[in-house]
């Protein structure tokens, strides 16, 4: 018998980054030496004191279900952090903990979208936003940005995309994959557009908040536009800041009714986040924060090295990203060329396959992020890997004619 799948799951795309990771693992298992620039997570291990916090919790019998929204001390610690960063008094009850930021994004759309409701997603976007919107019957409204504007949504583009069906605008800064970081003035300008649309909610995904380079620093939307607090859902987590991707823990803060609805959904799906991960997250917030600045500097140096190497490849045009840990170069000038085997590299997906086969370098296609003609290269990997991978890419690109 063939299993009849739901319309809901049939219209979903598998996660492009998870698929890429699988492909790299398969090739590596076949004995091929693949340099992996698809990585979407810190390459460092979780700091030892955080691991110890989780071990202590387990040994101390912290091995039971917790309240659905998370344990009180953790929610309070998150509220305290947001008071410092967002300058807004969230109560602990307005904070909810989930199994990664991704679960909370799912629950917030599940809690608010009905058939045909629109969600504005600036492109290039993190692959999952449009797919999660679609999963919950919403319609992603993709709004392109430009490299010249550091991949940031402009007030004009936002104004043009808003319709009576708009339920949400998604902002992600520092952005994956474009590295966009909005200044306070830019956030104010977006908020001024939203002032005319009081029914529209804003999701700000701040998961890369500390990964900001040069003079750029992440500004919290609610700090720049306090009047939006009542209709903003802050999404954040521990995955990138504290190298805790495998722990699966993130958080959201926002209007009480929405947080309650999200809690209802979590109560019927995962029940709560692992008590052990919550203990680790609490240790992360309460403990030494040195790791954050140390790793920020490591990434900044890697960014510079990779940017220099990639920019030196003829046909590759790369903006220096302001934040996060990806380069997002245009490869438009390489498209239409032929491989040594005579095949035409028609688009960014062909180029990804060519680089994988010819150079043994795995990168992501810009099409997956809503911006064809680009590649995404992660610098969350060692300097040595960056140098070797870029050299191999340069050689492979030079063989295109
Ligand atoms: N938002 C963005 C922009 C991301 O890049 C990612 C991870 N790739 C997430 C959310 C998901 O984070 P988490 O591990 O907390 O689910």
**Would you say residue 1 lies in a domain?**
no
- Residue 2 belongs to a domain: no
> Is 229 inside any structural domain?
yes
- Residues 196 and 295 occupy one common structural domain: no
Cβ of residue 126 lying under 6 Å from some atom of ligand 1: yes
Using the structure block, give the residue that is written with the tokens 């140098």.
387
Report the atom number in ligand 1 closest to the C-alpha of 248. Answer: 14
Per-residue pLDDT at 299: 98
Regarding whether 228 and 211 lie in a shared domain, the answer is yes
Q: Ligand 1 pocket test: which of 99, 107, 237 has the largest number of ligand atoms within 8 Å of its C-beta?
A: 237
Domain co-membership, 216 together with 261? yes
Residue 135 lies inside a defined structural domain of this protein:
yes
Number of domains into which the chain is organized? 2
Q: How many CA atoms lie within 13 A of 214 on its CB side?
A: 10
Residue 69 lies in a domain: yes
What SS3 string covers 83-98?
Answer: HHHHCCCCCHHHEEEE
- Is residue 86 domain-shared with residue 201, that is, in the same domain? yes
On the question of pLDDT at 185 being above 80, the answer is: yes
Does residue 62 have a cis bond before it (omega within 30 degrees)?
no
Of the three residues 286, 302, 326, the one that is the final residue of a domain is 286
Mutation pick for ligand 1 pocket among 128, 208, 242 (CB with most ligand atoms within 8 Å): 128
Question: For residue 83, is it within any domain?
Answer: yes
**pLDDT digit string, tens, across residues 330-373:** 999 999 999 999 999 999 999 999 999 899 999 999 999 999 99
In terms of domains, do 33 and 54 share one?
Answer: no
Do 96 and 160 belong to one domain? yes
Question: Residues 158, 236: one domain?
Answer: yes
Task: Please state, in angstroms and rounded to a whole number, the distance separating the CA atoms of residues 365 and 362.
Answer: 10
CA-closest residue to ligand 1 atom 5: 176
For residue 369, the enclosing domain spans 7-45+291-398
Q: Is residue 278 part of a domain?
A: yes
Residues 60 and 187 in one domain: yes
Q: Last residue of some domain: 286, 318, 337?
A: 286
Is the minimum distance from the CB of 124 to ligand 1 under 6 angstroms?
no
Examine the domain organization and report whether 140 and 259 are in the same domain. yes
Residue 259: pLDDT band (50, 70, 90) is: very high
**In whole angstroms, what is the distance from residue 170 CA to residue 394 CA?**
35
Q: Is the CB of 241 under 6 A from ligand 1?
A: no
Residue 87: band (very low, low, confident or very high) from pLDDT cuts 50, 70, 90? confident
Chain segment 192-226, per-residue pLDDT in tens = 999 999 999 999 999 999 999 999 999 999 999 99
The pLDDT, as a whole number, for residue 22 is 81
DSSP-assigned beta bridge partners for residue 140: 119
CA gap 218, 42 in Å, rounded: 19
CA of 102 to the centre of ligand 1 (A): 6
Cβ(207) to ligand 1 under 6 A?
A: yes
Here the CATH number for the domain that contains residue 360 is 3.90.1150.10
68 in contact with ligand 1, CB cutoff 6 A: no
Please state, for a pLDDT cut of 70, what percent of the chain lies above it.
Answer: 100
| Closest to 181 measured CA to CA, from 144, 142, 221 | 221
Tell me, yes or no, whether 388 lies in a domain: yes
Residue 176 CB–ligand 1 contact under 6 Å: yes
Binned at pLDDT 50, 70 and 90, residue 168 comes out as very high
CATH assignment at residue 76: 3.40.640.10
Q: Which of 286, 317, 339 is the last residue of a domain?
A: 286
**Same domain flag for 16 and 52:** no
**Are 195 and 248 within one domain?**
yes
The verdict on 100 and 248 lying in the same domain is yes
Query: Hey, which of 239, 270, 274 would you mutate to test ligand 1's pocket, going by the most ligand atoms within 8 Å of its Cβ?
Result: 239
Q: Is the CB of 245 under 6 A from ligand 1?
A: yes
Does the Cβ of 15 fall within 6 Å of ligand 1?
no
């Amino acid at each position: 018998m063939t299993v009849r799948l739901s319309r809901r799951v049939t219209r979903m795309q598998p996660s492009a980054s998870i698929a890429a990771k699988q492909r790299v693992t398969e090739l590596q298992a076949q004995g091929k030496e693949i340099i992996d620039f698809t990585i979407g997570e810190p390459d460092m291990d979780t700091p030892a004191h955080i691991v110890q916090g989780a071990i202590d919790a387990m040994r101390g019998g912290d091995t039971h279900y917790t309240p659905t929204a998370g344990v009180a001390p953790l929610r309070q610690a998150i509220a305290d952090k947001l008071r410092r960063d967002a300058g807004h008094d969230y109560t602990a009850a307005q904070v909810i903990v989930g199994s990664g930021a991704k679960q909370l994004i799912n629950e917030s759309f599940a809690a608010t979208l009905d058939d045909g409701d629109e969600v504005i997603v600036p492109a290039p976007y993190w692959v999952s936003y449009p797919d999660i919107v679609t999963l919950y019957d919403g319609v992603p409204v993709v709004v392109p940005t430009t490299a010249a504007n550091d991949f940031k949504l402009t007030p004009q583009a936002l104004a043009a995309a808003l319709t009576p069906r708009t339920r949400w605008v998604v902002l992600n800064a520092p952005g994956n994959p474009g590295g966009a970081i909005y200044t306070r003035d830019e956030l104010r300008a977006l908020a001024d557009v939203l002032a005319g649309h009081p029914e529209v909610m804003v999701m700000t995904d701040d998961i890369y908040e500390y990964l900001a380079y040069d003079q750029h620093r992440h500004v919290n939307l609610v700090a720049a536009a306090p009047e939006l607090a009542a209709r903003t859902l802050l999404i954040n987590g521990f995955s990138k800041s504290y190298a805790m991707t495998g722990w699966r823990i993130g958080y959201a803060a926002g209007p009480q009714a929405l947080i309650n609805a999200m809690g209802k959904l979590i109560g019927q799906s995962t029940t709560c986040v692992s008590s052990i991960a919550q203990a680790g997250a609490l240790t992360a917030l309460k403990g030494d924060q040195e790791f954050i600045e140390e790793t920020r500097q490591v990434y900044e140096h890697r960014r510079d090295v990779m940017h220099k190497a990639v920019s030196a490849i003829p046909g590759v045009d790369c903006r220096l990203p302001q934040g996060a840990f990806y380069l997002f170069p245009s490869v438009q000038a390489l498209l239409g060329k032929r491989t040594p085997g005579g095949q035409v590299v028609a688009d960014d997906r062909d180029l990804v396959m060519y680089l994988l086969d010819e150079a043994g370098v795995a990168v992501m296609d810009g099409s997956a992020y809503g911006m064809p003609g680009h590649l995404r290269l992660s610098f969350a990997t060692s300097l040595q890997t960056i140098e070797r991978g870029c050299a191999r890419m340069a050689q492979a690109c030079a063989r295109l004619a």
